Amino acid sequence: MRDIAQEVYKKMKVGSVSWIRPIAAKGDTLESFQAAHDSAKLLEQEGLIDIEKVQRQADGLIDAIRIQRLA
């Protein structure tokens, strides 16, 4: 399984803001995307990003995460 949060982080410039979302063309599903939140939390604990918003569907599944790159 690919690490979506890490991929987005590497493409960002310091100070920029981005949404992380599952991409169906790359095989992502909402169920597999839940692991991206765990990965983003690890990046936040390391001080590399700030998780600004977590967007959830009515059933509680995460469908988007807004992050800001700090380092």
pLDDT of 53 reads 98
- Between CA 5 and CA 12 the distance in angstroms is 11
pLDDT of 2 reads 76
- From first to last of its 71 residues, what are the pLDDT tens digits of the chain? 579 999 999 999 999 999 999 999 999 999 999 999 999 999 999 999 999 999 999 999 999 999 999 99
Amino acid at 38: D
In the chain, the number of structural domains is 1
- Between CA 54 and CA 65 the distance in angstroms is 5
* Residues comprising the chain, all counted: 71
Q: 26 lies in which domain range?
A: 4-69
DSSP code string of 8-22:
HHHHSPTT-EEEE--
